[in-house]
Amino acid sequence: MNDFPNLFSPIKIGKTTVKNRIFMPPLSTNLADHGYVTDDLIQHYSSRAKGGVGLIITEVTTVEPVYTYLPGDMSICDDSYIEGWTKLVSAVHQYDTKILSQLFHPAFMAYPLPGTPQLIAPSNVGPYYAKSAPREVTIEELKVIVRQFGEAAYRFKKAGGDGVEIQAAHAHGLLGGFLTPLYNKRTDEYGGDINGRLKLTLEVIDEVRKTCGDDFIIDVRISGDEYSDGGLTLNEMIYVSKQLEKHGVDFIHVSGGNTIKRGSSMPAPGTSPAPHMHASEEIKKYVHIPVATVARINEPWIAEELIENGKCDICMIGRPNLCDKDFANKAKMGQVEDIRPCIGCGRCLTGIMFGKPIACTVNPSVQSDEIEEADVKKKVLVIGGGPAGMEVAYDCFKRGHEVVLCEKSNKLGGQLNIAAVPITKQEITKVVKYMRRRLEASTVQIRLNTEVTDEMLDNEFKDYEIVGTVGAIPKEIEAFKIFKQTMTADDILSGKAFPGRKIVIIGGGSVGCETADYLAPLINDLFPNNRDVTIIEQTPGLMNGEGGATKSQLTLRMMRKGVKIETNSQITSVDENTITYTKKGQEYVIDDADTLVFACGYDPVKMNNDRIHYIGDSDKVGNLRDAISAAYAYAINL
């Protein structure tokens, strides 16, 4: 019996029937070669098609040769690209999956490669993401661009493609920039009111329809609401949706937010599932074509509920399909617990702007989950049951090795059991459950409450490959432990220590900020029992090395809760009752704190044995993605 009958029912899009309601939205991969389709791209998309997705929308595909969005993104700006697209479309179609290309002009968001002319924009207004000051595009240039969209769509049709998506969401690129009042300040026929700002998008739609005919899908991606002062509102986008339908659009892809307000278009972990469903639900009431919603639809039950409850007709499921290429098939077969969980961390895209290929924290092998059996089978001892230990143990098992995993505590998970405690980090618990479930279903011998000794290494495990994944321990500043009550952030998050009400945290990295967020009152209402939390960070910013919506939302939450944030600050002395720090040459004394918390990094833990190969935090302190990737790399090379 299918647990998700609505999700796996077919849907008619224009003249095309799609086998289910799981559509994969655009996600940049950086896998193209100067815009051309590569074998890696074919593998990437065809594996998701094989995994059961009903329809795939490719990443950004530029329609003209002058402006590049990202160095590794796709293009279809002339006929030389058709051959590669034909191979890609054919690879996807063999699994009865439909494929659209997302047509895009980056305009003011173009990557400033050497030789790139001045960037263009709706107006001579420098949008947030512009790399340099743009100029206002002329009406004559717009006529050429409209024709280029139509020609690009026709090339995709010649390649066998099923249709195109027109990207007009998120104040993003040329069409999104024209549509939003935040960037379009024109007073000619392409500006002013909503009809003027929408004119360019409608011209593109008309050109594509004229060029490609009625049996070619056209979908438009919009922000149902930009959630921003001065931005597009839901009322405007209901009107826009009606106009799109009148111009022959076959379905509407309702996203939300924009590129200016971090976390609005790509929500941070821990935020509400399907945050744009209210917009899609309203728009759905006023049009007669299918409506999709997108963002944080990470589990099949959420998608089923959205469709059953009338919030949308289609669910765009992107990052979960990246995390597990078999997401759809596993859901259809009732194997929900076997779906590798997407935690919404956004690290899949953090390297994209720096030319790195798409990646995933939880899935170290985004392009292929296939692990080849080892030519020589070995015995492997894994010391430590954290994420690196669980990953390397399972991957070694998949390669045919005989594996024993020893964990000195009474449960698996290691540092993840602490990392899941702060606000918005709940989804990490799913990773622990998933990794443990895999191990328990394997032949890996799991020994809890077992601390490996030198004697064991010399005897029972003398002929084993030894992998050390025992993690790292929090740093503490010995001179500051004179204060009346000190503890580490890990002590607090693990429940080993309980802080007072007036807390100073040393360190404004991710751990320090998450701990402050965890301890601070949910509302800053000056209630007498509220904790008073101060972060002291010596660098100019918080969470250095982190970026995107997660960092933004955590910082905003701390500020709303009244957490005091002192950057560019250095603690100079501590005694039993006072904490002294300097900032911009000025000295400050905190004399009413009751707890000093160390959140100033970690030191790798190693055992005194030359046979041990260390991975994860035992080798080099990093994040979850670093640990899992290192474990996978070791296993496939063993």
What is the band of 189 on the pLDDT scale with cuts at 50, 70, 90?
very high
Distances (CA, A) of 326 to 46, 48, 161, 322: 11, 7, 23, 9
Structure tokens at 600: 């100033």
pLDDT at 128: 66
Percent of the chain with pLDDT over 70: 98
Tens of pLDDT, residue by residue over 320-359, are 999 999 999 999 999 999 999 999 988 888 778 777 899 9
Q: Residue range 572-601: average pLDDT?
A: 97
The model's pTM is 0.95
* Cα torsion angle, 262, 266, 269, 272, sign: positive
Q: What is the mean pLDDT of residues 604-624?
A: 95
Using one digit for the tens of pLDDT, what is the confidence trace for 70-97?
A: 888 899 999 999 999 999 999 999 999 9
Whole-angstrom distance, CA of residue 48 vs CA of residue 44: 7
- Confirm if 592 and 577 have CB atoms less than 8 A apart: no
Sheet hosting strand 445-447, strand order edge to edge: 445-447, 402-406, 379-383, 465-468, 612-614
Predicted confidence (pLDDT) at residue 498 exceeds the cutoff of 90 = yes
Q: pLDDT by residue (tens digit) across 126-145?
A: 666 666 789 999 999 999 99
Rounded (5°) CA angle 457-458-463: 80
Confidence (pLDDT) at 384: 97
User: What pLDDT is attached to residue 127?
Assistant: 64
Task: Give Cβ neighbours of residue 456 (< 8 Å, ≥ 6 apart).
Answer: none
Torsion of CA 204, 209, 212, 216, to 10 degrees: 110
Please name every residue paired with 218 in a beta bridge, in sequence order, or none if there are none.
Answer: 164
Give Cβ neighbours of residue 189 (< 8 Å, ≥ 6 apart). 139, 196, 199
Least confident of 22-31, 391-400, 420-429, 538-547: 538-547
Q: What does the DSSP assignment read for 64-84?
A: SSS-BSSTT-EE-SSGGGHHH
DSSP annotation of 417 reads H
**pLDDT > 80? residue 266:** no
Pairing of strands 532-536, 502-506: parallel
Measured CA angle at 224 (ends 246, 126), to 5 deg: 105
Q: Which residue from 171, 286, 288 is spatially nearest to 225, judged by alpha carbons?
A: 171
pLDDT at 285: 98
User: Is pLDDT at 113 greater than 90 in this prediction?
Assistant: no
Q: Three-class SS of residue 626?
A: helix
158-172, 180-194, 361-375, 447-461: least confident range: 361-375
508 three-state secondary structure: coil
Buried b (16+ CB within 10 A) or exposed e, 46-84: bbbbbbbbbbbbbbbbbbbeebbbbbbbbbbbeeebbeb
Pick the closest to residue 15 from 141, 229, 162, 174 (CA basis). Answer: 162
- Rounded mean pLDDT of the chain? 95
User: Does the pLDDT at position 462 exceed 70?
Assistant: yes
* String of DSSP letters for 226-246: --STTS--HHHHHHHHHHHHH
CA distances from 346 to 16, 253, 375, 401, 480 (A): 33, 21, 36, 33, 36
User: What local confidence, expressed as pLDDT, does residue 50 receive?
Assistant: 97
Residues 139, 220, 261, 560: what is their CA dihedral angle, to the nearest 10 degrees? 150
Residue 370's pLDDT band (cuts 50, 70, 90): confident
How many Å apart are CA 108 and CA 123, to the nearest integer?
10
Q: SS3 for 466?
A: strand
**Residues 6+ positions from 280 with CB-CB distance below 8 Å:** 224, 254, 291, 292, 293, 311, 312
Contacts with 141 (C-beta within 8 Å, 6 or more apart), sequence order: 120
Span 595-623, average pLDDT: 95
Label residue 582 exposed, middle or buried (CB < 10 Å: 0-12, 13-18, 19+): middle
